[in-house]
Protein backbone atom coordinates (compact mmCIF):
# COMPACT_ATOMS: atom_id res chain seq x y z
CA UNK A 1 0.00 0.00 0.00
CA UNK A 2 1.08 3.54 -0.70
CA UNK A 3 2.11 5.70 2.23
CA UNK A 4 -0.22 8.65 2.77
CA UNK A 5 1.05 12.15 3.43
CA UNK A 6 -0.77 15.38 4.22
CA UNK A 7 0.93 18.66 3.31
CA UNK A 8 -0.64 21.59 5.10
CA UNK A 9 0.06 24.58 2.86
CA UNK A 10 0.71 22.68 -0.36
CA UNK A 11 0.39 25.63 -2.74
CA UNK A 12 3.55 27.45 -1.63
CA UNK A 13 7.11 26.99 -2.86
CA UNK A 14 8.02 24.29 -0.33
CA UNK A 15 4.66 22.56 -0.43
CA UNK A 16 4.79 22.18 -4.19
CA UNK A 17 8.35 20.85 -4.26
CA UNK A 18 7.60 18.50 -1.37
CA UNK A 19 4.49 17.16 -3.11
CA UNK A 20 6.55 16.50 -6.22
CA UNK A 21 9.19 14.66 -4.16
CA UNK A 22 6.65 12.51 -2.33
CA UNK A 23 4.83 11.59 -5.53
CA UNK A 24 8.11 10.43 -7.03
CA UNK A 25 8.63 8.28 -3.94
CA UNK A 26 5.27 6.61 -4.47
CA UNK A 27 3.19 8.41 -1.83
CA UNK A 28 -0.50 9.21 -2.02
CA UNK A 29 -0.42 12.96 -1.44
CA UNK A 30 -3.11 15.13 0.12
CA UNK A 31 -2.70 18.87 0.45
CA UNK A 32 -4.59 21.66 2.17
CA UNK A 33 -5.19 25.09 0.71
CA UNK A 34 -7.02 28.24 1.74
CA UNK A 35 -10.11 29.08 -0.25
CA UNK A 36 -9.50 32.38 -2.05
CA UNK A 37 -11.49 34.27 -4.64
CA UNK A 38 -8.63 33.59 -7.06
CA UNK A 39 -7.09 30.08 -6.83
CA UNK A 40 -3.34 29.94 -6.28
CA UNK A 41 -2.38 26.61 -7.81
CA UNK A 42 0.16 27.82 -10.37
CA UNK A 43 3.16 26.14 -8.72
CA UNK A 44 1.48 22.73 -8.69
CA UNK A 45 0.52 23.25 -12.32
CA UNK A 46 4.03 24.43 -13.18
CA UNK A 47 5.46 21.18 -11.80
CA UNK A 48 2.70 19.26 -13.66
CA UNK A 49 1.43 17.56 -10.50
CA UNK A 50 -1.88 19.36 -9.92
CA UNK A 51 -3.92 16.38 -11.13
CA UNK A 52 -1.90 13.90 -9.09
CA UNK A 53 -2.81 15.16 -5.60
CA UNK A 54 -6.00 15.40 -3.54
CA UNK A 55 -6.76 18.94 -2.39
CA UNK A 56 -8.64 19.78 0.81
CA UNK A 57 -9.86 23.27 1.79
CA UNK A 58 -8.50 24.16 5.22
CA UNK A 59 -7.60 27.13 7.41
CA UNK A 60 -5.29 27.07 10.42
CA UNK A 61 -7.65 29.23 12.46
CA UNK A 62 -10.48 26.73 11.88
CA UNK A 63 -9.93 23.62 14.01
CA UNK A 64 -12.83 21.79 12.41
CA UNK A 65 -11.29 22.06 8.95
CA UNK A 66 -8.03 20.63 10.33
CA UNK A 67 -9.88 17.73 11.94
CA UNK A 68 -11.73 17.05 8.70
CA UNK A 69 -8.48 17.11 6.69
CA UNK A 70 -6.89 14.56 9.04
CA UNK A 71 -9.93 12.29 8.99
CA UNK A 72 -10.15 12.31 5.20
CA UNK A 73 -6.43 11.87 4.51
CA UNK A 74 -5.64 9.55 7.47
CA UNK A 75 -1.94 10.31 6.92
CA UNK A 76 1.16 8.56 8.15
CA UNK A 77 3.18 11.74 7.64
CA UNK A 78 2.06 15.35 8.12
CA UNK A 79 4.05 18.37 6.99
CA UNK A 80 3.01 21.83 8.17
CA UNK A 81 4.31 24.43 5.73
CA UNK A 82 1.44 26.88 6.14
CA UNK A 83 2.07 30.33 7.61
CA UNK A 84 1.95 34.04 6.93
CA UNK A 85 5.44 33.52 5.62
CA UNK A 86 6.59 36.99 4.55
CA UNK A 87 8.48 38.64 7.41
CA UNK A 88 7.75 42.20 6.30
CA UNK A 89 4.00 41.61 6.16
CA UNK A 90 3.99 40.29 9.73
CA UNK A 91 4.63 43.82 11.01
CA UNK A 92 1.45 44.92 9.24
CA UNK A 93 -0.55 41.87 10.40
CA UNK A 94 0.99 41.07 13.76
CA UNK A 95 -2.19 39.65 15.30
CA UNK A 96 -2.97 37.47 12.29
CA UNK A 97 0.63 36.25 12.28
CA UNK A 98 0.28 35.09 15.87
CA UNK A 99 -3.07 33.40 15.30
CA UNK A 100 -2.14 31.60 12.09
CA UNK A 101 1.60 30.98 12.28
CA UNK A 102 1.69 30.45 16.03
CA UNK A 103 -1.61 29.25 17.51
CA UNK A 104 -2.50 27.43 14.31
CA UNK A 105 0.26 24.92 15.01
CA UNK A 106 -1.17 24.16 18.44
CA UNK A 107 -4.48 23.38 16.77
CA UNK A 108 -2.71 21.02 14.38
CA UNK A 109 -0.92 19.26 17.25
CA UNK A 110 -4.17 18.86 19.20
CA UNK A 111 -5.90 17.42 16.16
CA UNK A 112 -3.03 14.98 15.60
CA UNK A 113 -3.05 13.94 19.27
CA UNK A 114 -6.76 13.15 19.14
CA UNK A 115 -7.14 11.67 15.64
CA UNK A 116 -3.82 10.30 14.30
CA UNK A 117 -1.42 10.12 17.27
CA UNK A 118 0.78 7.63 15.42
CA UNK A 119 1.44 9.96 12.49
CA UNK A 120 4.82 11.64 12.10
CA UNK A 121 4.72 15.45 12.08
CA UNK A 122 7.08 18.01 10.56
CA UNK A 123 6.90 21.69 11.56
CA UNK A 124 8.55 24.35 9.43
CA UNK A 125 10.54 26.44 11.87
CA UNK A 126 12.74 29.26 10.60
CA UNK A 127 16.15 30.87 10.99
CA UNK A 128 14.33 34.15 11.67
CA UNK A 129 13.84 32.89 15.22
CA UNK A 130 17.53 33.63 15.87
CA UNK A 131 16.87 37.30 15.24
CA UNK A 132 19.49 39.99 15.46
CA UNK A 133 21.94 37.96 17.55
CA UNK A 134 25.69 38.22 18.07
CA UNK A 135 26.56 34.68 16.96
CA UNK A 136 28.59 34.23 13.78
CA UNK A 137 26.89 30.90 13.10
CA UNK A 138 23.62 29.44 14.34
CA UNK A 139 22.93 25.80 15.21
CA UNK A 140 20.32 23.92 17.27
CA UNK A 141 21.78 25.23 20.55
CA UNK A 142 22.06 28.92 19.62
CA UNK A 143 19.74 31.15 21.71
CA UNK A 144 16.71 32.59 19.93
CA UNK A 145 16.13 36.36 19.85
CA UNK A 146 13.21 36.92 17.43
CA UNK A 147 13.04 40.32 15.73
CA UNK A 148 9.62 40.23 14.04
CA UNK A 149 6.04 39.13 14.74
CA UNK A 150 6.62 36.33 12.24
CA UNK A 151 9.68 35.08 14.14
CA UNK A 152 7.90 35.26 17.52
CA UNK A 153 4.97 33.29 16.12
CA UNK A 154 7.29 30.65 14.67
CA UNK A 155 9.18 30.40 17.98
CA UNK A 156 5.92 29.79 19.85
CA UNK A 157 5.06 27.00 17.41
CA UNK A 158 8.61 25.60 17.66
CA UNK A 159 8.34 25.23 21.43
CA UNK A 160 4.81 23.83 21.26
CA UNK A 161 6.09 21.06 18.99
CA UNK A 162 8.73 20.18 21.59
CA UNK A 163 6.14 20.26 24.38
CA UNK A 164 3.77 17.93 22.54
CA UNK A 165 6.65 15.63 21.61
CA UNK A 166 7.74 15.32 25.22
CA UNK A 167 4.28 15.34 26.82
CA UNK A 168 2.35 13.06 24.48
CA UNK A 169 5.15 11.08 22.85
CA UNK A 170 4.26 12.40 19.40
CA UNK A 171 6.77 11.94 16.59
CA UNK A 172 7.16 15.67 15.95
CA UNK A 173 10.17 17.41 14.40
CA UNK A 174 11.16 21.03 13.88
CA UNK A 175 13.16 21.86 10.80
CA UNK A 176 14.98 25.15 11.41
CA UNK A 177 15.40 26.05 7.77
CA UNK A 178 17.48 29.00 6.70
CA UNK A 179 16.46 30.96 3.61
CA UNK A 180 15.84 28.67 0.66
CA UNK A 181 14.97 29.94 -2.79
CA UNK A 182 13.96 28.76 -6.25
CA UNK A 183 12.13 29.86 -9.40
CA UNK A 184 8.91 29.08 -7.47
CA UNK A 185 9.70 31.62 -4.75
CA UNK A 186 7.07 34.32 -4.27
CA UNK A 187 7.75 37.70 -5.85
CA UNK A 188 7.51 39.48 -2.50
CA UNK A 189 10.78 37.81 -1.43
CA UNK A 190 13.90 39.78 -2.28
CA UNK A 191 15.72 37.03 -4.20
CA UNK A 192 12.91 36.44 -6.67
CA UNK A 193 12.16 40.16 -6.80
CA UNK A 194 15.72 40.67 -7.99
CA UNK A 195 15.88 37.85 -10.54
CA UNK A 196 12.45 38.64 -11.97
CA UNK A 197 13.18 42.38 -12.08
CA UNK A 198 16.56 41.76 -13.69
CA UNK A 199 14.96 39.61 -16.40
CA UNK A 200 12.53 42.45 -17.16
CA UNK A 201 15.37 44.98 -17.26
CA UNK A 202 17.39 42.76 -19.59
CA UNK A 203 14.42 42.54 -21.98
CA UNK A 204 13.66 46.26 -21.81
CA UNK A 205 10.42 45.83 -19.86
CA UNK A 206 11.52 47.66 -16.73
CA UNK A 207 14.10 50.28 -15.80
CA UNK A 208 14.69 49.85 -12.06
CA UNK A 209 14.17 47.61 -9.05
CA UNK A 210 13.15 49.18 -5.73
CA UNK A 211 14.69 47.57 -2.64
CA UNK A 212 15.04 48.29 1.06
CA UNK A 213 18.02 47.20 3.16
CA UNK A 214 20.63 45.62 0.89
CA UNK A 215 23.22 45.18 3.66
CA UNK A 216 21.42 42.29 5.35
CA UNK A 217 23.26 38.96 5.15
CA UNK A 218 21.44 35.66 4.68
CA UNK A 219 22.25 31.97 4.30
CA UNK A 220 20.59 31.04 0.98
CA UNK A 221 20.00 27.48 -0.21
CA UNK A 222 17.99 25.68 -2.89
CA UNK A 223 14.40 24.82 -1.93
CA UNK A 224 14.13 21.36 -3.61
CA UNK A 225 17.09 20.17 -1.52
CA UNK A 226 15.57 21.55 1.67
CA UNK A 227 12.25 19.74 1.24
CA UNK A 228 14.20 16.52 0.88
CA UNK A 229 15.67 17.22 4.32
CA UNK A 230 12.11 17.54 5.67
CA UNK A 231 11.29 14.08 4.36
CA UNK A 232 14.51 12.56 5.74
CA UNK A 233 13.67 13.89 9.23
CA UNK A 234 10.45 11.88 9.28
CA UNK A 235 12.24 8.69 8.20
CA UNK A 236 14.34 8.57 11.38
CA UNK A 237 13.68 6.26 14.32
CA UNK A 238 13.36 9.14 16.78
CA UNK A 239 12.07 12.71 16.33
CA UNK A 240 14.46 15.62 16.74
CA UNK A 241 15.09 19.19 15.59
CA UNK A 242 17.59 20.09 12.87
CA UNK A 243 19.14 23.17 11.28
CA UNK A 244 19.13 23.05 7.48
CA UNK A 245 21.48 25.58 5.89
CA UNK A 246 24.57 26.01 3.69
CA UNK A 247 27.10 27.30 6.28
CA UNK A 248 27.55 30.40 4.11
CA UNK A 249 26.25 33.96 4.37
CA UNK A 250 25.99 36.61 1.67
CA UNK A 251 24.55 40.11 1.58
CA UNK A 252 21.72 41.23 -0.67
CA UNK A 253 24.28 43.48 -2.34
CA UNK A 254 26.38 40.41 -3.17
CA UNK A 255 23.25 38.79 -4.60
CA UNK A 256 22.74 41.85 -6.79
CA UNK A 257 26.34 41.85 -7.98
CA UNK A 258 26.23 38.18 -8.92
CA UNK A 259 22.82 38.37 -10.60
CA UNK A 260 23.51 41.49 -12.63
CA UNK A 261 26.87 40.04 -13.59
CA UNK A 262 25.02 37.19 -15.31
CA UNK A 263 23.25 39.80 -17.42
CA UNK A 264 26.44 41.84 -18.05
CA UNK A 265 24.91 44.84 -16.30
CA UNK A 266 26.05 47.14 -13.49
CA UNK A 267 23.56 46.71 -10.66
CA UNK A 268 24.17 50.19 -9.25
CA UNK A 269 22.58 51.77 -12.34
CA UNK A 270 19.28 49.97 -11.83
CA UNK A 271 18.71 49.70 -8.07
CA UNK A 272 16.74 52.33 -6.16
CA UNK A 273 16.58 52.27 -2.36
CA UNK A 274 13.05 52.93 -1.12
CA UNK A 275 12.83 53.64 2.61
CA UNK A 276 9.23 52.41 2.60
CA UNK A 277 10.62 48.90 2.05
CA UNK A 278 12.90 48.97 5.10
CA UNK A 279 11.50 46.94 8.00
CA UNK A 280 10.97 48.58 11.41
CA UNK A 281 13.39 45.99 12.83
CA UNK A 282 15.60 43.81 10.67
CA UNK A 283 18.04 40.94 11.15
CA UNK A 284 21.58 41.83 10.11
CA UNK A 285 23.12 38.38 9.69
CA UNK A 286 22.03 34.76 9.50
CA UNK A 287 24.42 31.89 8.90
CA UNK A 288 23.43 28.33 9.69
CA UNK A 289 25.49 25.37 10.85
CA UNK A 290 24.03 22.11 9.50
CA UNK A 291 26.60 19.83 11.15
CA UNK A 292 23.96 17.88 13.08
CA UNK A 293 21.92 17.24 9.93
CA UNK A 294 25.07 16.18 8.12
CA UNK A 295 25.91 13.60 10.77
CA UNK A 296 22.44 12.34 11.73
CA UNK A 297 20.57 12.71 8.43
CA UNK A 298 23.46 12.37 5.98
CA UNK A 299 22.21 15.58 4.39
CA UNK A 300 24.26 18.35 2.81
CA UNK A 301 23.44 21.12 0.31
CA UNK A 302 24.68 20.70 -3.25
CA UNK A 303 23.49 23.95 -4.85
CA UNK A 304 25.29 26.94 -3.42
CA UNK A 305 25.01 30.72 -3.79
CA UNK A 306 26.19 31.37 -7.35
CA UNK A 307 24.47 28.35 -8.87
CA UNK A 308 21.23 29.23 -7.10
CA UNK A 309 21.21 32.73 -8.60
CA UNK A 310 22.02 31.32 -12.03
CA UNK A 311 19.07 28.90 -11.82
CA UNK A 312 16.62 31.59 -10.73
CA UNK A 313 17.68 34.29 -13.19
CA UNK A 314 17.74 31.99 -16.22
CA UNK A 315 14.30 30.62 -15.38
CA UNK A 316 12.80 34.09 -14.97
CA UNK A 317 14.42 35.24 -18.21
CA UNK A 318 13.08 32.19 -20.05
CA UNK A 319 9.58 32.75 -18.71
CA UNK A 320 9.48 36.40 -19.73
CA UNK A 321 10.69 35.49 -23.21
CA UNK A 322 7.95 32.87 -23.50
CA UNK A 323 5.37 35.40 -22.34
CA UNK A 324 6.55 37.96 -24.89
CA UNK A 325 6.18 35.28 -27.58
CA UNK A 326 2.57 34.76 -26.59
CA UNK A 327 3.01 31.44 -24.79
CA UNK A 328 0.63 30.63 -21.95
CA UNK A 329 1.82 28.70 -18.91
CA UNK A 330 1.30 28.67 -15.12
CA UNK A 331 3.12 31.71 -13.75
CA UNK A 332 2.85 34.53 -11.24
CA UNK A 333 4.91 37.43 -12.53
CA UNK A 334 2.72 38.62 -15.39
CA UNK A 335 -0.06 39.63 -12.98
CA UNK A 336 2.07 40.89 -10.11
CA UNK A 337 2.21 44.69 -9.65
CA UNK A 338 5.29 46.58 -8.54
CA UNK A 339 5.28 48.14 -5.10
CA UNK A 340 5.42 51.80 -6.07
CA UNK A 341 1.77 52.42 -5.22
CA UNK A 342 1.57 50.14 -2.19
CA UNK A 343 1.75 52.05 1.09
CA UNK A 344 2.68 50.21 4.25
CA UNK A 345 1.10 51.56 7.42
CA UNK A 346 4.15 50.56 9.47
CA UNK A 347 6.85 52.22 7.39
CA UNK A 348 7.75 55.88 7.06
CA UNK A 349 6.77 57.75 3.93
CA UNK A 350 9.09 60.63 4.70
CA UNK A 351 12.32 61.08 6.57
Residues labelled as active-site residues: 126, 128, 150
Q: For residue 273, count CB atoms less than 10 angstroms from its CB and return exposed for 0-12, middle for 13-18, buried for 19 or more.
A: exposed
Nearest C-alpha neighbor of 269 from the set 278, 280, 259, 260: 260
Cβ pair 227, 289 in contact under 8 A: no
Amino acid sequence: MKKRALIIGITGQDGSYLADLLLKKGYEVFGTYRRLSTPNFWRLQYLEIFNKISLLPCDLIDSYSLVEALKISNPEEIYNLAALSFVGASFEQATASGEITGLGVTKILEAIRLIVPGAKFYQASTSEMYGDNDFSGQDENTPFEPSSPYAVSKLYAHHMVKIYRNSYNLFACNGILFNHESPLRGLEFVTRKITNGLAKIKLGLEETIELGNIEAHRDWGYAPEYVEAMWIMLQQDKPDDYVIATNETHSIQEFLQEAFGLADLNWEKYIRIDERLIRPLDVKLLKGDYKKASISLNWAPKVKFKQLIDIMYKEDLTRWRKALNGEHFPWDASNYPNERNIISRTLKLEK
